[in-house]
């Protein structure tokens, strides 16, 4: 090969390697700088437990009735409480903590997918500190209001010792005030490991005794969420 051709080949190779380097830089996926972990939508399906989760931002009188129902049925649940509600209902909150598990539902029922990481932290930890100072419980479970969350939500929870909890069955009782429909949604094809979402509404109170009785007839145990998803909780 002549000196001229060798020079051309060298320059061509340099240009080719430069192009390949640029393409590689664009094609290699970037790694997240923060660890993000997945929320729980259910627990172990082979378990005999189902998680009864009740999200609370209103309905103090219905909460009292739910506690009575749980006592009579020898059952329990996890109440995910909103901070602004809990702050106004401390005596009731203490009763709830004696009979059930308490989880974090944020402070002001904000859309956690649409707020910054700092705002996520403020919402979650403001509620956490309120519950801690009121009833001396360090909550470990967070249920995002309306089921809305982002990677920032997950990161904040991981950094602060929280697990994010969603659901496998939604009774939609906040919208459809129909005890029969609530019962149907809570029981159709129910299995161990399911997380059943409810709210303290009048129609839910009407349906709840029948729901619990059905679970027990199927050999299922209405339980706190931490037991269903198999994590260590204060409870």
13 pLDDT more than 80: no
Q: How far apart are CA 75 and CA 28, in angstroms?
A: 52
11 pLDDT more than 60: no
**C-beta separation of 73 from 198 below 8 A:** no
The reply to whether 117 and 159 lie within a common domain is yes
Determine, yes or no, domain membership for 235.
no
Instruction: Write the CATH number for 114.
Output: 3.20.20.370
pTM of the model: 0.84
Determine, yes or no, domain membership for 35.
no
pLDDT category, 22, cuts 50, 70, 90? very low
Q: How far apart are CA 13 and CA 24, in angstroms?
A: 16
The reply to whether 77 and 104 lie within a common domain is yes
Residue 198 token pair: 């409810």
Residue 133 token pair: 């100072």
Numbers of helices and strands, H then E, in the chain? 9, 8
* 99-148: pLDDT as tens digits: 999 999 999 999 999 999 999 999 999 999 999 999 999 999 999 999 99
The reply to whether 111 and 203 lie within a common domain is yes
The SS3 of residue 129 is helix
The parent domain of residue 146 ranges over 49-229
Q: What is the dihedral of CA 16, 18, 20, 22, to 10 degrees?
A: -150
Determine, yes or no, domain membership for 105.
yes
Query: Phi and psi (nearest 5°) for 144?
Result: -65, 130
Q: How far apart are CA 35 and CA 55, in angstroms?
A: 27
The reply to whether 176 and 125 lie within a common domain is yes
For 12, 54, 70, 137, 138, the CA distances from 67, given in Å and listed in that order, are 79, 11, 5, 19, 21
7 pLDDT more than 90: no
């Amino acid at each position: 090969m002549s000196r001229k051709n060798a020079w051309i080949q060298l320059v061509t190779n340099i240009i080719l390697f430069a192009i390949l380097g640029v393409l590689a830089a664009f094609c290699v996926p970037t790694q997240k700088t923060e660890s993000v972990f997945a929320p729980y939508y259910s627990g172990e399906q082979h378990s005999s437990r189902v998680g009864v989760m009740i999200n609370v931002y209103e309905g103090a009188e219905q909460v009292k009735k739910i506690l009575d129902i749980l006592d009579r049925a020898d059952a329990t649940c996890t109440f995910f409480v909103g901070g602004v509600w809990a702050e106004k209902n401390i005596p009731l909150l203490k009763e709830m903590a004696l009979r059930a598990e308490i989880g974090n539902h944020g402070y002001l029922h904000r859309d956690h997918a649409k707020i910054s990481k700092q705002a996520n932290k403020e919402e979650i930890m403001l509620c956490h500190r309120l519950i801690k100072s009121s009833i001396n419980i360090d909550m470990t479970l967070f249920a995002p209001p309306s089921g809305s969350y982002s990677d920032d939500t997950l990161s904040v929870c991981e950094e602060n010792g929280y697990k994010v909890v969603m659901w496998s069955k939604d009774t939609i009782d906040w919208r459809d005030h129909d005890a029969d429909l609530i019962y149907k949604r809570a029981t159709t094809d129910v299995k161990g490991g399911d997380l059943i979402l409810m709210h303290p509404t009048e129609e839910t109170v009407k349906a709840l005794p029948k729901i619990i009785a059905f679970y027990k007839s199927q050999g299922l145990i209405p339980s706190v969420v931490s037991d269903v998803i198999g994590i260590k909780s204060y409870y």
